Structure 1
Amino acid sequence: MDLQTSVFLLFVLFAEGHSLQCYQCRNRDDSCSSQIVETCHSESAKCMSSTSLLQSGGHTTTVRGKGCSADCPSGSLNYGIMRTVVACCETDLCNAQNTPDPRTMIPNGKKCYYCDEKSCLNIMSCSESEDGCITITPKNLKEKENGPEVISCCSGNLCNGAQSVTHSFLFLFCSLLSCILLH
């Protein structure tokens, strides 16, 4: 066997046998101070670091997480009562740094509605790369079952509010009424 083939086979065997290593938080507190090195499963191709800010009953809790991830979307998510910043990377122990505290993110001027225990008319400010709003609706509103949900996305200020549903319903109702009256 020639040298070039031998080097190629050695490279393939080494690449197959190497597993990604990431830091993992043992305690998911504000500091994530106790970390261990975790060898990822073969389906996990990325290291992840996250910081979540939870607000409930006037209290704010910061939770940090680190570990291996199969599908890791970098960015930030804002659910009103919870805001999360996620960073992903693909080399050994690349998730050593904590992601930024969501409170330090710069607002971008966009706004979305969000729900809490009392209302779905709460307004949150979006920050940095947050550029869309979501609406999560149960598929069957009449039955009180935990079934599949419909998730829709939109862009633009306050595009996920009840007002847009009201306008759609009004348009549909007026169209139906004019159809009945004209026929």
Structure 2
Amino acid sequence: MADLLRYLLIVSALTTPGLSLSCFTCLDLTGAYCTGSPVTCSAGYSCVTSLSVTTVGSTNQSLSLSRGCAAANQCNITGSLTFQYGKVKIVTSCCDTDSCNATIATLPADNATVNGLTCRTCASDTTDYCYTDATLQCNGAETLCGRMATYLSGTASVTNTIRGCATPSVCNILGNVNGAFGSLNTVVKTFCSSGCVGLQGTFYLSSLMMLILMKIIF
């Protein structure tokens, strides 16, 4: 019995949130595969794989993938944001052993069912805010209006924003996550509301999402 109790205590200690994992960190802006060097994550963080698909118009589509460290509220997220020029979809999945690579999750399916929400929609490649009288009928699970302001600093400096219909899963990502890939520092601030008049609330998305949104505007 003593040996069994000791074994259980060891297992519990190894799986207790708060221990630091070593996770690979990498970024691929042209596909769905990347490898990198391991880094030590903050206590309680998991190893995350994040896949984004950006569609502009009906045919222009690009995939991007990143691996790194993530807090629990950044794990197992499936969401999207639709604006006047296209759509961004993102999925994240996590694992909790040293140097693990989480399996890439399935992207959310398109849903053309109108849900009754109308949001303003616009895009800017020069500022972190845009406003327009143009509106967008929201579909499926995109039941909130969202505005994403993106920032890139380091060897390049870029600020832009998109505005449209967003899923709650995107809007509920909390925390302050600043990303660094080589000499580039990235952050995304997102504001959400239940209607098109006035967006409120703020949070930071993963650095990968920032880079994908940056590519949409250009």
Q: TM-score band (shorter)? A: 0.5 to 0.7
RMSD across aligned positions (CA): 4.2
Whether 1:69 and 2:67 are equivalent positions in the alignment is: no
Q: Partner of 1:7 in structure 2?
A: 7
> Closer, same or farther in 2 for the Cα pair 1:129/1:24, shift >3 Å?
farther
Q: More helix per residue: 1 or 2?
A: 1
Unaligned runs of 5+ in 1: 137-148, 163-183
SS of residue in 2 equivalent to 1:129: coil
Give the letter for the 1:9 counterpart: L
* Cα pair 1:87 1:99 within 8 Å, conserved: no
Unaligned runs of 5+ in 2: 125-129, 149-188, 199-218
Q: CA deviation at 1:160?
A: 0.5
Give the letter for the 1:160 counterpart: C
Greater relative contact order structure (CA < 8 Å, 6+ sep): 2
Partners of 1:77 and 1:83 lie apart in 2 by 5
Whether 1:86 and 2:91 are equivalent positions in the alignment is: yes
SS of residue in 1 equivalent to 2:74: coil
Q: CA deviation at 1:85?
A: 1.6
CA deviation vs aligned residue, 1:89-142 (integer Å, no higher than 9, x gap): 344546332543x7x522331342222248523334545432222368xxxxxx
Partners of 2:106 and 2:8 lie apart in 1 by 38
1:20-169 matched pairs, under 5 angstroms: 20=21, 24-29=25-30, 31-36=31-36, 38=38, 41=41, 42-45=43-46, 47-53=48-54, 55=56, 61-70=62-71, 71-72=73-74, 74-78=77-81, 80=83, 83-92=88-97, 93=100, 95-97=102-104, 99-100=106-107, 105-110=110-115, 111-117=118-124, 120-134=132-146, 151-154=191-194, 159-161=195-197
Q: More strand per residue: 1 or 2?
A: 2
> Closer, same or farther in 2 for the Cα pair 1:12/1:106, shift >3 Å?
same
CA deviation vs aligned residue, 1:132-164 (integer Å, no higher than 9, x gap): 22368xxxxxxxxxxxx994511xxxx3158xx
**Which 4+ residue blocks in structure 1 deviate beyond 6 angstroms?**
none
CA deviation vs aligned residue, 1:19-60 (integer Å, no higher than 9, x gap): 55666544222x22233474651231352422141649x965
Q: TM-score with structure 2 length normalisation?
A: 0.46
* Cα pair 1:135 1:160 within 8 Å, conserved: no
Partners of 1:28 and 1:9 lie apart in 2 by 43
